[in-house]
Structure 1
């Protein structure tokens, strides 16, 4: 498993408020949409929810607390075996993908803030 991209975004809530949203897999709704959940395998450990799809992709969502805020982190891994070399080619060399991951992390953080504000 090779880390390809990682992005974090701040959340106004505490880690104690965000953690249950990760552990219950609530975060997958804003991240994948309800239709997207049907196309991935989901697993989790306390504090981490992972989702795998396609032949190469694994995403993970975690949260950490710092002195100033809680950060939600989205990581994208290449889980392809022997064909790992083909992943960049199949994904147009990942041009623009880092921005997509940053935007996804920011949208998820906003969804968490909105959800906890209600």
Structure 2
């Protein structure tokens, strides 16, 4: 396993744990409002959906952590979940019109994908 790739996968996993916490517990709190550019009223209306979205981010993090602890299938597992993260970032950025989301979520995952593919 390449140390840079391990770092990138761990970084993306950490990001998704952070996203999960923000979406599930801080969506309508000052930290969440600032992170997602929401007004309190919007956040209250969408709070249940955000909790669900946070759970899915937790699943992405769990998959990446699984890759990190896997002895024999690290690259295959990491590649699958990094592709999922990339697609989620592209779709999220497109639907929310928040280009920052693409750079924060998809770019690190794309770097990981490239590192896996150039190794093969």
TM-score relative to the length of structure 2: 0.31
Please identify which structure carries the higher helix content. 2
Structure number having the greater strand percentage = 1
TM-score (norm 1): 0.32
